[in-house]
Amino acid sequence: MYSFFLNLKLLCYAISPWNNEANLKFLRKSIEKNKIKWDYVIDIAHSYLLVPSLWVNLRAKNLESYLDEGIRDYLHNFYSLNMQRNIGLRQQTLEAVDVLNNQGIVPLLFKGAAQLFQPIHGHLGSRMMRDLDILIPTKQLGEAVEVLHSIGYQEAVDKNFNQAKHHHWAPLFRSGEYGTIELHHEALYLDAAGVLPAQLIWTNAQRQTVQGVHFFIPDATHSLMIGMIHSRFFDLHRLDLQALLDCTSLVLRYSDHMDWERIRSLMDKNGLCHMLQAYLVAANLLFNLPFPHMIEPTISARMHYMLSLAVLRWKLAKRLSSKYYAFTAQQICKRYQCKNQPLPLTVNRLKYLAESIRDIYEGISYCVKLRRKHILEK
C-alpha cells in the first residue's frame, strides 16, 4: 500500500512543471539512494499515458544522469517514438483541416489536437494522445463528415453507434494513419455541454494559420475548463493524471490569460463550484499548482481528493465512490428533477436512500426464496 502511494508521489514530483525545491530535493535523494521502484513508477506512468512526460521533465530537472542506463534509454526511446507519432498526427491534422478549408469549413482544434500546434508542455513529443478532437460548426458537421469520407476516412465503429446520444460523430479512421478523428458538434459530453457550450467556446476562440491551413484554438480559460470537465474526475472519483498535468501546465504557461472569475462563475452557475475546488486540490497536492487567490480549498474538496486516491488503490473504495456519487446534488437533481436547494435535496436524498434500502431488501428476499426453493426441490 505504502509503496503504491510513495511511487505515485514520486511520479507526480518528477513530471510536475512546477519546480518546488523541497520536492526536487526529495526526488533527487530518492533516486540517489535507489528508493524508487522504476518498474512500478513507469507502470503507473504507462497507465496514464505519461511516459514521454516523465522523460521530458526528468531532463528539465537535470535528473536523467541519475538514472541507470537501461531506464534512461527506455524512457528516451519511448519519447522519441511518441515524438515521431505526434509529428505524424500533426501532419494528419493539417491535411484533414486543409480539405475542410477547401469546402469553406474552418474548424476548432481542442485537447490533444490543439497541443500539436501549441504544445503546453514545451515539447511536441511530451503528450501522448489517442485521437484528434475537432469541433465543427453544427450546421456544417454533415458536410465535414462527407469531406473526410472523400479522402478515404470511414467510421471506425459499427453501425449501431447512436449519433443522437453523443457529442461527436463516430470516430473516423483511415488506413495508414496514426489516429482516429472525432468531429464534434459539442466539445463536452451532452450532460456537461450546458456548462461550456460550443457556442461560447467559439466566441473567444483564437484563429491560427499554419502552412496556409486555417483553424481555431480555444482560449486558455476554455481549454482549462474543457480538460477539467472532460476528465470526469468529479463524476467517477478517478484521478486522470494526464488531465491534471495538462491543467497545471496550462496555468503555468498562460497564467496572465487565465480568467478564474469566469471559470468560477460558469462552474457555480451549473452547481459545480465544489467540483472545481476538488480538481484544484488534486492539482495542488500532486503537482504543486498554486491556488488562485479567489478560490479557497474546502474540507469537502480535500475529502473528495482522498477518496479519489483510495479509488486508485482499493476495489471497495470504487464501490463506495459510486454510491457516494449517486447522492451528489448533480445526480439527485437529475434523478428527481428537483432544484439544487437544501430542502428539496435533503428530501430527495432521503427518498433515494429509502429506495436503495428497499432494493437491497428485495434482492435479499429474492435470494432467500431461491435458496428455499432449491432446498425443497432436493
The answer to whether 52 and 126 are in contact (CB under 8 A) is yes
Buried b (16+ CB within 10 A) or exposed e, 173-185: bbeebbbbbbbbb
Instruction: Give the CA distances from residue 185 to residues 144, 150, 179, in Å, rounded to whole numbers and listed in that order.
Output: 11, 20, 19
Flag whether the pTM goes above 0.85.
no
Enumerate the domain spans of the chain.
327-378
Q: Which of 132-136, 163-167, 261-265 has the lowest mean pLDDT?
A: 163-167
Q: What's the confidence (pLDDT) of residue 28?
A: 85
**Bridge-based pairing state of the strands 108-110 and 172-173:** unpaired
Exposed, middle or buried: residue 106 (CB in 10 Å: 0-12, 13-18, 19+)? middle
Q: What's the confidence (pLDDT) of residue 109?
A: 97
Confidence of residue 309 (pLDDT cuts 50, 70, 90): confident
Q: What's the confidence (pLDDT) of residue 209?
A: 96
Q: Which of 3-17, 258-272, 307-321 has the lowest mean pLDDT?
A: 307-321
Q: For 348-373, what is the mean pLDDT?
A: 69
Q: What's the confidence (pLDDT) of residue 274?
A: 78
Exposed, middle or buried: residue 333 (CB in 10 Å: 0-12, 13-18, 19+)? middle
Question: How crowded is residue 107: how many other Cβ atoms within 10 Å of its Cβ?
Answer: 22
pLDDT digits (tens, 9 = 90+) for 205-231: 999 999 999 999 999 999 999 998 888
Alpha-carbon gap, residue 365 to 26, rounded angstroms: 56
Confidence of residue 330 (pLDDT cuts 50, 70, 90): low
pLDDT digits (tens, 9 = 90+) for 148-160: 999 999 987 766 6
pLDDT digits (tens, 9 = 90+) for 14-30: 999 887 788 888 888 88
192's grid cell: 456537461
SS3 168: strand
Strands, E, within 185-303: which ranges? 206-210, 213-217
Assess whether pLDDT exceeds 60 at residue 315.
no
